[in-house]
């Protein structure tokens, strides 16, 4: 999904920011809703190291897509039942969108100030891009992505149980969608990415 190339020196900090913000938001939401599991697991932190998954990093290097370590939660500890789980699931993508907005505002402020540092602007641009990609990618309704928990939380009990049965097969489905030459993932996610870019651009123009 991301991959490394000549821009790797700028991609690494940008990717760490996007992944860390995403996982921290899940942990913070869960703890706020009564589940101490993320705190006990050491995930209530903005330090990127506890959030990194070695296999996810290897796949990022080899296959150009990867993942962070999912935040452990106990849904039975969450207040408001499945609505609490829905809030925790939405927290990660929501935090990425908010981070993208903040980064876009920072970019606009620096441009107005006449800052033209290439390295800084490259990190800012990639941080924005990765946060948008991560937010939208995680909304795909396949476990272990957040979209699956969102759908499961919204479905009635019996339908949710049936939907959850795809979990053992979803990593293979997801990998197939990613490696197919027809860019199915891009076809699925690009419209929402474009919509978010448009909304954020409008907000930045309104604020600045």
Residue 89 makes CB contacts below 8 A (sequence gap 6+) with: 26, 146, 149, 150, 153
161 as an active site residue: the answer is no
3-state secondary structure of 45: coil
Enter the DSSP assignment of 69.
P
Beta-carbon neighbour count of residue 143 at 10 Å?
21
* Catalytic, out of 19, 23, 68, 78: 23
Burial readout 76-90 (b: 16 or more C-beta within 10 A, e: otherwise): eebeeebebbbbbbb
> Which positions are annotated as active-site residues?
23
């Amino acid at each position: 999904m991301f991959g490394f190339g000549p821009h790797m020196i700028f991609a690494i900090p940008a990717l760490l920011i996007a992944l860390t913000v995403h996982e921290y938001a899940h942990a913070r939401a869960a703890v706020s809703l009564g589940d101490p599991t993320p705190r006990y697991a050491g995930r209530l932190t903005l330090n990127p190291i506890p959030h990194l998954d070695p296999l996810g990093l290897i796949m990022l290097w080899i296959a150009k897509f990867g993942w962070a370590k999912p935040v452990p939660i106990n849904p039975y500890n969450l207040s408001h039942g499945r609505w609490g789980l829905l809030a925790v699931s939405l927290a990660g993508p929501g935090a990425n969108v908010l981070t993208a907005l903040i980064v876009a505002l920072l970019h606009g402020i620096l441009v107005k100030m006449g800052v033209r540092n290439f390295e800084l602007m490259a990190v800012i641009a990639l941080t924005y891009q990765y946060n948008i990609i991560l937010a939208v990618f995680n909304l795909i309704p396949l476990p272990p992505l957040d979209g699956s928990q969102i759908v499961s939380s919204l479905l009635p009990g019996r339908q949710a149980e049936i939907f959850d049965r795809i979990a053992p097969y979803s990593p293979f489905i997801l990998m197939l969608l990613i490696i197919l030459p027809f860019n199915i993932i891009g076809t699925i996610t690009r419209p929402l990415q474009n919509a978010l870019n448009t909304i954020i651009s409008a907000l930045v123009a309104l604020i600045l």
